[in-house]
Amino acid sequence: MSEDVLVLGGGVMGLTTAVVSAESGRRVRVWAREPAPATTSAVAGGLWWPYRIEPEALVGDWSLASLSVYEALADRPEETGVRLVSGVHAGIRLAGLGPWAAQVDGLREVGPAGLPTGFGFGLRARIPLIDMPVHLGWLTRRLEAAGGHVEAREALSLPQAQTESGASVVVNCTGLGARELVPDSSVRPVRGQLVVVENPGVEEWFTAVDHASSATTYLIPQPGRLLLGGTAEEDDWDTAPRKTTADAIVERCARIRPEVAGARVLAHRVGLRPARDAGVRIDSERLPGGALLVHNYGHGGAGVTVAWGCAEAAAALIG
């Protein structure tokens, strides 16, 4: 085993980066301010798709690298939380996507006949859908199997974390926390609210983004529940669910699948996506004393989509 690596952040990005580093032969620890089930990652819908993430020139490769991993993990859905599920993105054309789209097997355009009433075009695909609580648990176990471990501990500063841990490499995967920790004032929240209901029989996912407002519409079937969304409210730090927002979400989703209007509500959830004005930051610098600091944050609404690609890019900077 080589030198110690300290990963800051216990969400999907931190855990995936820790797994990649540990499986390359490094001693890895993760400091997590909160347990994985309490992170923004646990609230995420979990659908693989490059959504609200930049820079475009790099996102495609990161996404495809992750897609390849998830397709393999889908052979063991109960263990990994990953399934391949069919569905429709309404209001999107292939021409509006990057070159990466040509490498997604089965991605194709559909017309009005293949869409809910009111939509004229869209894309159909069978892509990974990740049950995030299950997947985060699996990542933690995979890290432990590689010799790493997670500590419930908060970094007060980057130099302090390095000094107290004694690690020769610190990897910053703190998401929204990077705003204060780096500090990086370009990191901003994009609030997402969703409603969890009993699934009345919805088997396919559906998404539609209203670019003229902060409202989105999606139905994502996860084992034992159906996720209804959502919102994309920039610079909104409120983590408390809003009843008016929840009612509007259910109403929008009921226009797509009327049976959800009467579905029993199981929970209301809010997550703050860690957006960054310049997009994802993956680079390195030196801390006082010479330790290597690698940044891997700013993944917006697509952390799970690019997790493995970004983890590999961050690990390459460790050397």
User: For the segment 115-126, what is each residue's pLDDT rounded down to a tens digit?
Assistant: 999 999 999 999
User: For the segment 278-293, what is each residue's pLDDT rounded down to a tens digit?
Assistant: 999 999 999 999 999 9
The whole-number average pLDDT for the span 206-229 is 94
- Write down the mean pLDDT value for the chain: 96
Domain residue limits, the chain: 4-318
**The dihedral of CA 34, 36, 37, 41: what is its sign?**
positive
How many CA atoms does the CB half-sphere of 294 hold within 13 Å? Answer: 26
pLDDT of residue 229 exceeding 90: yes
Q: What kind of fold does domain 4-318 have according to CATH?
A: Rossmann fold (3.40.50)
Q: What does the pLDDT read at residue 145?
A: 98
User: For the segment 148-181, what is each residue's pLDDT rounded down to a tens digit?
Assistant: 999 999 999 999 999 999 999 999 999 999 999 9
The whole-number average pLDDT for the span 66-86 is 98
Q: pLDDT band for position 1 (50/70/90)?
A: very low
Give this prediction's pTM.
0.96
The whole-number average pLDDT for the span 236-265 is 98
> Could you count the other beta carbons within 10 Å of the beta carbon of residue 99?
9
Compute φ and ψ for 77, nearest 5 degrees: -65, -35
pLDDT of residue 3 exceeding 80: no
Selected residue with higher pLDDT from 1 and 94: 94
C-alpha R_g of the chain: 19
The whole-number average pLDDT for the span 78-103 is 97
Q: What does the pLDDT read at residue 290?
A: 96
Q: What's the burial of 253, exposed, middle or buried (CB within 10 Å: 0-12/13-18/19+)?
A: buried
pLDDT of residue 2 exceeding 80: no
Distance, in Å, from the CA atom of 303 to the CA atom of 252, rounded to the nearest integer, reads 25
Residue 39's alpha-carbon distances to 11, 35, 117, 167, in angstroms, are 6, 7, 36, 24
Distance, in Å, from the CA atom of 187 to the CA atom of 298, rounded to the nearest integer, reads 7
Strand partners, 152: 32
pLDDT of residue 256 exceeding 70: yes
Q: Which residues contact 45 (CB under 8 A, 6 or more apart)?
A: 194, 218, 220, 227, 229, 230
pLDDT of residue 35 exceeding 50: yes
The whole-number average pLDDT for the span 295-315 is 97
Distance, in Å, from the CA atom of 283 to the CA atom of 274, rounded to the nearest integer, reads 17
